[in-house]
Structure 1
Amino acid sequence: MKKILLKIKSTLKNIFTHDPSSKEMLIEVLRNAENKNLLDSDALLMIEGALHVSETHVRDIMVPRVQMIIINDDAKPEAILSNVVESGHSRFPVIGDTNDQIVGILLAKDLLNYFADPKKEFDIKDMMRPPVFIPESKRLNVLLREFRMSRNHMAIIIDEYSGVAGLVTIEDVIEEIIGEIEDEHDYEDDEINIKIHDDNRYTVKALTPIDEFNNFFKTNLSDLEYETIGGLVITAFGYLPKRGETIISNGFNIKVLRADKRRVQLLLFKKNIPDKSIENNYEET
């Protein structure tokens, strides 16, 4: 992170001959510099991302509660290990009697230490790290500073009614600055574009072909202008949406689950009353 900030500082020194008087002017100067090849596009995205985090709240980027992978405090170690392997995550909220009772954070490496010593008695309470709770309204630049000072990598987000709204990791915050950090688990099971969840919810990859979406949901969306469902969703928004944004379109409640500054990646669909928001994207039957 320090290297990134030093690169940004060095780049800015070479561009500015006077101080911009507003954030809008600053961005305009930077984009002009990119157009003149004085600033590469990746550096521009990082600078814009750094400015963006000071105006963004954790509610805007959090992993929503329905998507959290949690562990019960009475779960057997073998079941927990299966969860770890399947998800590919390194940190897991541990719950007590209800999903709102987060009692700790389990690190995968601590669980692996248990399996490395078969004589050791399993007690998840001894392995858990204390959870960090933050309000939905906390700004990302403040959270990033707290993450760096405390060396925590995950925080549980609490809503106005003291219930669990979701979680956020340091990776989520950094991705707002430098773009999506893709690892080997981000796109596992690439052949599965649409997954069924409880309560009439479906996660759909933005790159899902429209004909595959139509076959699955028995819809009749047109693929004349766009080949993927992500293209249709962006059209419905009228711009590139951020993670957490929602829209009602073509008979679905749609929420953006994963996105960066370049593209939408994962969407949450829930069937709703059909609407006419992008009716022209339906084929004639």
Structure 2
Amino acid sequence: MSDDQPPSRHSPQKSWVEKISHLLSGGEPHDLEDLLETLREAKDKHLLDSDALTMIEGVLEVSHLRVRDIMIPRAQMVVVPREAKLEEISEIVVDACHSRYPVIEGDRSNVVGVLLSKDLLTHVLQNKTSTLVGQIMRPACIVPESKRLNILLKELRTTGNHMAIVVDEYGQTSGLVTIEDLLEQIVGEIEDEHDEHEDEGYIVKRNEHEFIVKALTPIEEFDEYFSTQLTTDEYDTIGGFVMSQLEHMPKKGESLVVEHLRFEIIKADNRRVHLIKLKLAK
């Protein structure tokens, strides 16, 4: 057969990694960093688009990250007491707008179950607001801080759980992680029905004292809107300002107080911050 003829369709197919490596004439990758570098070069050569590269990087990182790397710390969890009546927790639920809440007994280190908002709503509609949280809570999924994210994701998908309570080596609660947190490590930010839409601008006013601010909001626009003076040459966006103040990549749930401004990270992955809740001191 002539060397100029196309290969038979029955010939062994090269993997996509081999094809990319061959096209880049750099040989096959020898470790993870080599593979990532190859993929980034493939993007530069338009063999991959940005979204595909981000997802591939996310998949590779998830297999190396552990629960402790992305969990929401115990101090920042929105919790409800086991002995509280449903009518007593309504303000907490309305303000947080979560679908699940850790149920504690005593203090935050002792999570004894999970309250689902749909269970709460069912009882409220039936005028059973005197029911105790402990009577309708569900069992909590407990995982150690050291569990790898790829393993946890598989377990959550298998069991149907959407939230896991993270415990330390002594069995005390150290935080929580949701299936959304895990998926966002792969695909980036996931918007739900409570997230602000892209076409609503950089800053969305919820009430006189609370705002949702996109991390990419230009710092000059932020200053003009809130009559502040945060602008410097060190950063261009409000997300950059928050990162410079915290001196690390913020995680979902972290907060920062600067004068009369309280910043809370409500959307972030291991690469960047997406959304910030801003509260003004009353």
Give TM-score scaled by structure 2 length. Answer: 0.70
Distance 2:245 2:89 in 1: 40
| Distance apart, 1:236 and its partner CA | 6.8
1:51 matched to 2:71: no
Aligned match of 1:190 in 204, 207, 217? 204
Counterpart amino acid of 2:150?
A: N
Q: How far apart, CA to CA, are the structure 2 residues paired with 1:52 and 1:100?
A: 29
User: Which structure 1 segments of 5+ residues have no match?
Assistant: 1-9, 197-202, 269-285
| Ranges of 4+ aligned residues in structure 1 off by more than 6 Å | 211-214, 254-257
Alpha carbons 1:241, 1:256 under 8 Å: kept: no
Find the residue that maps to 1:113 and give its secondary structure: helix
Matched, 1:85 2:115: no
Instruction: State the distance in 2 between where 1:115 and 1:192 align.
Output: 25
Q: Secondary structure at the match of 2:205?
A: coil
Shift of 1:173: 0.6
Closer, same or farther: CA 255–109 of 1 in aligned 2, 3 Å: closer
In 2, the alpha carbon distance for the partners of 1:120 and 1:266 equals 34
> Which of 249, 267, 274 is matched with 1:241 structurally?
249
- Aligned equivalent of 2:168: 159
Counterpart of 2:146 (choices 129, 137, 153) is 137
Q: Deviations over 1:185-216 (max 9, x none)?
A: 245993379x89xxxxxx9974473577895x
> Is the CA contact (8 Å cut-off) linking 2:83 and 2:134 kept in structure 1?
no
Say if 1:213 and 1:229, in contact at 8 Å, map to a contact too: no
Higher Cα Rg, which structure: 2
* Shift in alpha-carbon separation, 1:11–1:187, aligned structure 2, 3 A: farther
Q: Which residue in 1 is equivalent to 2:74?
A: 65
Aligned partner letter, 1:62: M
In the superposition, the TM-score normalised over structure 1's length comes to: 0.69
Amino acid at match of 2:82: D
Q: AA paired with 1:52?
A: E
Of stretches 57-66 and 75-84 in structure 1, the one that deviates more from structure 2 is 75-84
Q: Given the superposition, is the C-alpha separation of residues 262 and 140 from structure 1 closer, same or farther in structure 2, using an over 3 Å criterion?
A: closer
**Residue identity opposite 1:93 in structure 2:** P
Deviation by residue 1:19-54 (Cα, 9 ceiling, x = unmatched): 533212211221122112111110110010000011
Alignment-derived partner of residue 112 in structure 2:
103
Q: Which moved more, 1:122-131 or 1:163-172?
A: 122-131
Residue by residue, what CA displacement relative to the aligned partner does 1:120-178 show, whole Å, maximum 9, x if unpaired? Answer: 98343342111122222221111111111221111111224433211100100110000
* Residue 190 of structure 2: aligned partner: 181
How many residue pairs are counted as aligned between the two chains? Answer: 249
Change (3 A) 1:257 1:110: closer
Note if contact 1:99-1:164 (Cα within 8 Å) is conserved in structure 2. yes
Task: Name the CA shift for 1:103/1:233 in 2 (closer, same or farther; >3 Å).
Answer: closer
Distance 1:261 1:60, change over 3 A: closer
AA aligned to 2:115 is L
Mapped contact 1:210–1:228 kept (Cα < 8 A):
no
Task: Kindly state the Cα deviation for residue 233 of structure 1 after the two structures are TM-superposed.
Answer: 4.5
Aligned to 2:29: 20
Amino acid paired to 1:243: K
Structure 2 Cα separation of the partners of residues 116 and 232 of structure 1:
44
Asked whether the equivalents of residues 214 and 221 of structure 1 are also in contact (C-alpha less than 8 Å), the reply is no
Conserved 8 A contact 1:176-1:260 = yes
Letter in 2 for 1:138: K
**Mapped partners of 2:45, 2:246: distance in 1:** 31
- Per-residue Cα deviation, 1:81-138 (whole angstroms, up to 9, x for no partner): 4332321110110111222221110111111222333479834334211112222222
